[in-house]
Homo-oligomer: A and B are copies of this chain.
């Protein structure tokens, strides 16, 4: 594809030769002649200066710095949002047009199944009774779809996923391998020395545009539904407890654990390995730092860190003192000794 054709599709202003033939997209270091590459961040400036790529996607600010530092001139595509332009370029060079694989006769298909046009059901998958799926749905090998599950158009389920009975999945959802949706919530009543299981009779609702990573677990509600809101993205190995409600467009990073009945607003970011206690409410737009432990409600728009989590700025200040505690304690002891000496000057012998 010529650079000018690419620019027509993804936008941006060409600085250099618009007729360069682009043959691929690559990283700064790995790129060869013919490749399109990208610079998002100043810390990679050195790699940008040395890259063998033919075209560099940059912001206006970066463009000027590259021009100054680079010996050999390079053609650049100057855009407002380099990461977005890069994502769009990757899509152009790695198109994945959907092709229906049909329904394999080596899949196990239950009774009363409804399928939209052009679905793909691969071998060794198991679709239980009364499942309903929209158009262009992909069910990969080794996937289990429980009784009464519904799946919207264009949803893609990767191999070895388990979706338990009654789960409702929207359109354009992606579920990565090994993930389990609809496992029983972790609920017991202690009586006469044993933990008596509370039946988990609810379900899970995954709204449109959600992406769920690999080996994630999302428990069904005790009664009612566990809900993952529209456009929310969940990374690998995340735990979501029973009756949790997550809003739209949240980012839940790997290994986060969300206990039962937690309510999370829209646009929330939970960084890696965060834990959230049961029955907590987290407001819209909240950001929580990695490894934090959320033990009480957080209002809209706050940034929190620490375990237990406190406002991020407070945490930064406290944290900066932590490593110096031994020094401060020596200082404290020094003052104490000095004062004692002043009070009892004759104690010294």
Complex alpha-carbon distance, A202 and B320, angstroms: 39
Checking B164, B194, B223 against A27 with a beta-carbon cut-off of 8 angstroms, the contacting residue is B223
Interface positions, chain A 59-82, Cβ under 8 Å from B, are: 81
State whether the Cβ of A117 lies closer than 8 Å to any Cβ in chain B: no
- Chain B residues within an 8 Å CB radius of A329: 321, 328
**Number of residues of chain A lying within 8 A (CB) of chain B:** 106
**What is the CB-to-nearest-CB distance from A337 to chain B, in angstroms, rounded to a whole number?**
11
Complex alpha-carbon distance, A146 and B186, angstroms: 27
21 contacts across the A-B interface (CB closer than 8 A):
A25-B223, A86-B198, A90-B222, A94-B199, A108-B124, A140-B144, A158-B162, A178-B179, A178-B217, A194-B209, A195-B251, A217-B236, A236-B239, A237-B237, A239-B254, A239-B272, A273-B275, A273-B293, A310-B322, A318-B322, A321-B325
Which residue numbers of A lie inside 8 Å of B, CB to CB? Answer: 25-27, 30, 81, 83-84, 86-87, 90-91, 93-94, 96, 106, 108, 122-124, 126, 140-142, 144, 146, 158-160, 162, 164, 174, 176-180, 183-184, 186, 188-189, 191, 193-199, 201, 209, 211, 213-217, 219, 222-224, 231, 233, 235-237, 239, 241, 249, 251, 253-255, 257, 259, 272-273, 275, 277, 290-291, 293, 295, 306-308, 310, 314-315, 317-319, 321-326, 328-329, 331-332, 335-336, 338-339
